[in-house]
Amino acid sequence: MGIVDRIYDYVEYKRVTISEFSKIINVSSGYFAKQKSNNANIGSNIIEKIIKSYPEINLYWLITGEGNMLRKVESSQLAIDCVSCKQKDKIIELQEKLIKSYEQNCSREKSKSHKNA
């Protein structure tokens, strides 16, 4: 089993299509199918794109097939991710309030313009 086979394993694990995966890492949709049918390897530039787009993949596993598919995440990283999620949730909440406020202002302005017409 080679790198391309392991990529297919990862794609199956993520429950996405190989086309979706290819699009995210910015390679042609048929790239991996061609590499697989030719029993060919992929270049380091493709591996770099994969790791940048999917940092949870264990690079050692991807290259050698040894170890776990996913990297172990440090608890400090989980804490950072959790803080980031809370910040994103707060930003979304504020944006939703702002949108609601704008919609209310627009409704008031429309009502005023209809009364004056």
CATH number at residue 39: 1.10.260.40
- Model pLDDT, residue 81: 55
Residues 8 and 60 in one domain: yes
What type of residue sits at position 99?
A: I
For residue 106, give its domain range. Answer: 73-117
Residues 40, 91: one domain?
A: no
Give the angle subtended at the CA of 33 by the CAs of 62 and 44, to the nearest 5°: 40
In a shared domain, residues 41 and 14: yes
Predicted local confidence at residue 102, as pLDDT: 78
Q: Are residues 47 and 79 in the same domain?
A: no
Please check whether residues 12 and 60 belong to one and the same domain. yes
pLDDT score for 20: 92
Alpha carbon 111 to its chain centroid, in Å, reads 43
The tens digit of pLDDT for each residue in 56-102 reads: 899 999 999 999 999 876 555 555 555 556 666 667 777 788 888 87
**Per-residue pLDDT, 117:** 63
pTM equals 0.60
Cβ-contact 25, 46 below 8 angstroms: yes
Q: What is the DSSP string of 18-31?
A: HHHHHHHHT--TTH
